């Protein structure tokens, strides 16, 4: 089948769904069009009727514009469509429509046209609308003729059904086999109204005073706890596994665990899941497995029959021995000892606690959730504001401390700090550096050497100070030792023992001797 043929079928299907006959007899299409804005029907609403052909809006829009633009109007974006002539006159169509029943099973419009032709129905043949109620039972259809006169003339030819009475009802049933019965649409609607009234009267006779049942909580019996899934299974895999049995509204699953909670959409679906997992032994052999049923020989070999019943009644998991097919070395997703998946539905107080847990949280200030001390929040905020205001807004410029080269050797750290001069930081180098000559470079090198020599001389007053201290009194010597305890860099130094006028220490004199 080529692409153009598919487009023709899509256009014919859309034209048939939005025809006057389909709108008159199809309650779903009629309700959609009557409740839609300006009669525009969404293209996606027709997917369920043409899903065997396509479910692409672009394909539907192109096919309708190409082959059915005379009968169907489609929007510019292709998302909406409606009948070009609007809604039909339902009363006028019902007047020229016949209701035909006892058709052969699996009848089609072509087969019904063949039946009408065999009954000498003159052309043009009517439009056929079939309601696919049950294919294994006699079907019915609506035949809409072009005029009301054609429908009236065709009625006696189609209605071959004999009226039954108390005298010939046995022969009448046999004679009416494989015969059609036809009535007008107006007569059919009248009989349907009488039938509904009869059912209502019988219901009132059976139950004249219906009991007022108490309101039922629709949420009861929807939450279940599952156990036995593969620990490495993802949330989507677990959702698909249980969704194949009954539709789910929510699943609470944490990766790495075999226990979680399910919430089904309906109570009926929850009951189906309860019966299914109670009757079948479902396991997950791998983390991507959507459920595997244990066979009869696997149950008998592993003793599942007794343990399954026990696990289902007590709510515990049942270990199943590893199967020969899953003893694969190095397979990380293989569960060597799978467990039978079980469901335990929450009831009573436990179920009420679950619904309260997932309820909307209370509105609390944000700072209270993060506060861990007992200090009021207002004090914390005020302290933070004060600290932020007292903080300098501009970062102070960097400073360099430079010492005088003429500093005396006998001065202490306090004298050094007093003679220290604070000078601003040197400016950044410019983009165009200044070039200097060779003579200036030699002068700078000599000046650096001279400063280094002076600095070395200032760090060698120990012998002189030791000589002076040797001739002083004991108190002066103690004071002198306190001076010697501190070096230029401000570090504490262990006092040395001077003995003699030569200014040498005891250890140095021993080495020289």
pLDDT of residue 193: 93
Task: Flag the least confident range among 70-84, 158-172, 287-301.
Answer: 158-172
pLDDT at 253: 83
Q: In DSSP terms, which residues pair with 97 in a beta bridge?
A: 144
Which has the higher per-residue pLDDT, 298 or 431? 298
What DSSP character marks residue 286?
A: B
Q: What φ, ψ does residue 385 adopt, rounded to 5°?
A: -65, -45
* Residue 291 and residue 244 in contact, taking contact as beta carbons nearer than 8 Å: yes
Q: How far apart are CA 93 and CA 147, in angstroms?
A: 9
CA-based torsion, 130, 132, 133, 136: positive or negative: positive
Q: Which of 12-26, 408-422, 492-506 has the lowest mean pLDDT?
A: 408-422
List the domains of the chain with CATH numbers: 1-88 (1.10.10.10), 90-205 (3.30.70.330), 223-324+332-357 (3.30.70.330), 412-418+437-513 (no CATH)
Q: Which tens digit of pLDDT belongs to each residue from 280-324?
A: 888 887 888 887 777 655 555 554 444 444 444 433 344 444 333
Mean pLDDT of 167-195: 76
Token code pair at residue 383: 């302290």
Output the DSSP codes for 133-192: S-TTS-EEEEEE-SSHHHHHHHHHHH--PPPP-TTTHHHHHHHTTT--EEEEHHHHHHHH
The whole-chain average pLDDT of the chain stands at 69
Q: Where are the alpha helices (DSSP H) in 318-420?
A: 348-357, 366-370, 377-390, 413-419
Please determine, for residue 342, whether its predicted confidence score (pLDDT) is greater than 80: yes
| Cβ 461 vs Cβ 435: under 8 Å | no
Distance CA 457, CA 403 (A): 15
Summarize pLDDT for 87-138 with one digit per residue, the tens. 888 888 889 899 988 887 778 888 888 888 887 787 778 888 886 655 555 5
| Mean pLDDT of the 256-266 span | 84
Kindly state the percentage of the chain with pLDDT values over 70.
58
Which range has the worst mean pLDDT, 191-195, 241-245, 338-342? 338-342
Q: How far apart are CA 471 and CA 463, in angstroms?
A: 13
Alpha helices in 251-347 (DSSP H): 267-279, 296-302, 304-314
| pLDDT score, position 474 | 42
The mean per-residue pLDDT over the stretch 193-206 comes to 91
Given its phi and psi angles, is residue 235 left (phi above 0), alpha (psi -120 to 50 degrees) or beta?
alpha
| Rounded Cα gap, residues 398 and 288, in angstroms | 64
- Among 444, 457, 462, residue whose Cα is nearest residue 405: 457
As given in the structure block, the two tokens for residue 492 are 């504490």
Name the least confident of 257-261, 391-395, 457-461: 391-395
- Please state the rounded mean pLDDT for residues 400-426: 47
pLDDT for residue 191: 92
Q: For position 154, what pLDDT does the model report?
A: 86
- Best-predicted range by mean pLDDT among 249-263, 325-339, 373-387, 436-450? 249-263
Omega before 124 within 30 of 0, i.e. cis: yes
Asked whether the predicted pLDDT for residue 479 surpasses 70, the reply is no
Measure CA 417 to chain center.
69
pLDDT in tens, 354-390: 777 766 544 444 434 444 444 444 444 454 555 555 5
> Would you state the pLDDT for residue 194?
94
Q: How far is CA 65 from CA 53, 60, 104, in A?
A: 17, 9, 36
Give the integer Cα–Cα distance in Å for 16 and 505: 122
CA-closest candidate to residue 358, choices 186, 171, 184, 222: 222
| CB 271, CB 265: distance < 8 Å | no
Q: What is the pLDDT of residue 409?
A: 45
| Nearest residue to 343 (alpha-carbon basis) of 310, 311, 299, 307 | 311
pLDDT (tens digit per residue) in 7-51: 888 888 888 888 888 888 888 888 888 888 788 888 888 777 777
What is the pLDDT, as a whole number, of residue 330? 39
Specify the higher pLDDT residue, 423 or 452.
Answer: 452
């Amino acid at each position: 089948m080529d692409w153009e043929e598919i487009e023709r079928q899509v256009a014919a299907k859309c034209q048939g769904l939005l025809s006057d006959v389909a709108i008159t007899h199809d309650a779903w299409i009629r309700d959609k069009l009557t409740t839609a804005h300006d009669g525009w029907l969404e293209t996606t609403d027709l997917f369920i009727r043409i899903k065997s052909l396509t479910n692409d809006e672009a394909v539907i829009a192109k096919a309708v514009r190409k082959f059915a633009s005379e009968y169907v109007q489609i929007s510019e974006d292709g998302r909406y469509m409606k009948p070009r002539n609007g809604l039909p006159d339902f009363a006028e169509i019902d007047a020229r429509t016949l209701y035909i029943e006892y058709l052969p099973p699996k009848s089609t419009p072509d087969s019904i046209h063949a039946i009408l032709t065999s009954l000498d129905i003159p052309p043009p043949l009517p439009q056929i609308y079939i309601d696919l109620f049950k294919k294994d039972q006699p079907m019915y259809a609506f035949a809409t003729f072009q005029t009301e006169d054609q429908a009236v003339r065709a009625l006696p030819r189609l209605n071959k059904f004999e009226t039954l009475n108390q005298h010939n009802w046995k022969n009448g049933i046999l004679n009416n086999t494989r015969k059609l019965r036809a009535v007008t649409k107006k007569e059919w609607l009248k009989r349907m109204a009488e039938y509904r009234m009869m059912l209502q009267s019988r219901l009132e006779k059976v139950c004249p005073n219906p009991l007022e049942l108490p309101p039922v909580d629709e949420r009861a019996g929807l939450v279940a706890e599952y156990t036995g899934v593969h620990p490495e299974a993802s949330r989507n895999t677990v959702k698909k596994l249980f969704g194949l049995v009954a539709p789910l509204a929510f699943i609470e699953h944490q990766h790495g665990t075999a226990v979680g909670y399910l919430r089904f959409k309906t109570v009926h679906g929850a009951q189906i899941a309860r019966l299914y997992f109670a009757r079948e032994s479902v396991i997950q052999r791998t983390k991507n497995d959507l459920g595997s049923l244990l066979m009869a020989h696997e149950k008998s070999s592993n003793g599942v029959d007794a343990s399954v019943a026990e696990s289902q009644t007590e709510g515990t998991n049942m270990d199943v021995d590893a199967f020969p097919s899953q003893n694969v070395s190095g397979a990380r997703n293989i569960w060597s000892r799978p467990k039978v998946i079980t469901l335990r539905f929450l009831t009573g107080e436990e179920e009420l606690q679950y619904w309260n847990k997932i309820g909307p949280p209370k509105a609390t200030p944000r700072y209270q959730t993060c506060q861990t001390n007992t200090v009021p929040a207002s004090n914390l905020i005020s302290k933070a504001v004060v600290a932020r205001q007292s903080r300098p807004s501009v970062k102070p410029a960097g400073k360099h401390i430079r010492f005088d080269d003429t500093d005396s050797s006998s001065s202490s750290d306090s004298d050094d700090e007093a003679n220290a001069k604070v000078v601003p930081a040197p400016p950044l180098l410019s983009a165009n550096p200044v070039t200097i000559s060779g003579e200036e470079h030699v002068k700078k090198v000599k000046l650096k050497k001279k400063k280094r020599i002076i600095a070395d001389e200032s760090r060698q007053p120990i012998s002189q100070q030791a000589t002076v201290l040797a001739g002083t009194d004991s108190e002066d010597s103690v004071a002198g030792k306190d001076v010697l305890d501190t070096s230029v860099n401000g570090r504490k130094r262990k006092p040395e023992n001077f003995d003699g006028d030569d200014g040498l220490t005891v250890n140095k004199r021993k080495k020289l001797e």
